[in-house]
Amino acid sequence: MSPQAVHDDQRAETRRRRFGVIAAVLGGAILLTLAPLAQAAVKAKASLVTASGAARIEVTLTGLTAASRPTGVQVTAGGKVFRLKKVTAAKWRTAPLSSADQARANRSAGKAVAVRLRTASGTTTLRPKLAAPKAGAPASPQAPAPNPPPVTPGAQPLFPPPAQKLTGTAAAEHLRGFFLNSRFTDCPAGWPACAVEEKYDHCPDGSWSYFRITPSSGSDINSVGSFEVTGAEANTDGSWGVEYLSRLGSSTSISFYSWRVSPTGGVTGLYWPPGTHPSKGDPPSQQLGPFTWQRPTNCGQKL
């Protein structure tokens, strides 16, 4: 081979090596460009939910592939890291939140939280907004509970107990027979046997009334509206609880009540005024009772 041919062959080999290096660099750049795009296809939705009777943070993932399917999920909200457990490949939840953690999560509602996904190829952090419970969603059992209702010594249980504890829809159906068309009153004999009577009526048609009856008609309160049950429980000792939203007339203002009833009909409650709700971490503004369960209510009565 002539010296010129050897020189030309060396130049060709140098060009091939340079091209190989450029191709490798470009290939790496392409891979680096594609990797974030592949990760961006995965989206996360973070929500505060009530599941299995407890408040939790839930993350739902979309756009998952075999490569991006997580082996672990964490959420950072309110300065705390929460580890989530797998429900399905696309759905992950925390363990039940303590009262302090629920309040921390409530303060993060509507704000971006960090959702960290651990996969076989590395970790990815997404930042969805934490969705708060929708209006009318069941209140969490982590909300403050009223003082235990009074139990009359020697009194017989008034309510048929379920074979096992019921919550949610099953409990609401169980309570239908004795919660609807009932009243909670602090004067079982009825005014004017007491100087002042307070009572709450719950009617089968969804209407609701609060009366405060006094010797002076100018001091009476006669509030009539509607109610919507959002949570219920029935216990094997015959005690039960119910939570509902109440609306006065056509008003858009909604109040929230949480009641607990003993097996013998003692009642205590908690009240949240319009604009507040336990799911937001708001404390109740008033503790109600003790009252006594009664029926019927004379539903529709106006004073």
Lowest mean pLDDT among 12-16, 63-67, 218-222, 239-243: 12-16
The confidence band for 239, taking pLDDT boundaries of 50, 70 and 90, is: very high
Residue 278 clears pLDDT 70, i.e. is over it? yes
pLDDT > 90: what percent of the chain? 34
**What's the pLDDT score for residue 186?**
92
Bond prior to 162 in cis (omega within 30° of 0): no
| pLDDT band, residue 145 (cuts 50/70/90) | low
Residue by residue, DSSP assigns 268-299 as EEEEE-TT--GGGTPPPSEEEEEEEEES---T
The closest of 82, 80, 139 to 260, measured between CA atoms, is: 139
Name the more confident of 296 and 94. Answer: 94
The pLDDT, as a whole number, for residue 38 is 36
Q: Which pLDDT does position 64 carry in this prediction?
A: 85
Contact 222, 248 (CB under 8 A): no
Indicate if the pLDDT at residue 43 is higher than 60: yes
Query: Poorest-confidence range of 39-43, 77-81, 242-246, 294-298?
Result: 39-43
Q: Taking residues 200-213, report their average pLDDT.
A: 90
Give residue 137's pLDDT.
Answer: 42
Token pair in block for residue 95? 């363990």
What are the residue ranges spanned by the domains of the chain?
A: 43-131, 166-294
pLDDT tens track for 3-12: 555 455 555 5
pLDDT interval class at 177 (50, 70, 90):
confident
For residue 28, pLDDT beyond 50: no
Q: Do 84 and 75 touch, CB atoms closer than 8 A?
A: yes
Residue with the larger pLDDT of the pair 39 and 240: 240
pLDDT tens column, 87-130: 888 899 998 887 678 778 878 888 999 999 998 888 989 999 99
* Mean pLDDT taken over the chain: 79
At 176, the pLDDT band (50, 70, 90 cuts) reads confident
CATH classification for the domain delimited by 43-131, as one of 1.20.58, 2.60.40, 3.10.350, 3.10.50: 2.60.40
**CA dist., res. 47 & res. 64, Å (int):** 19
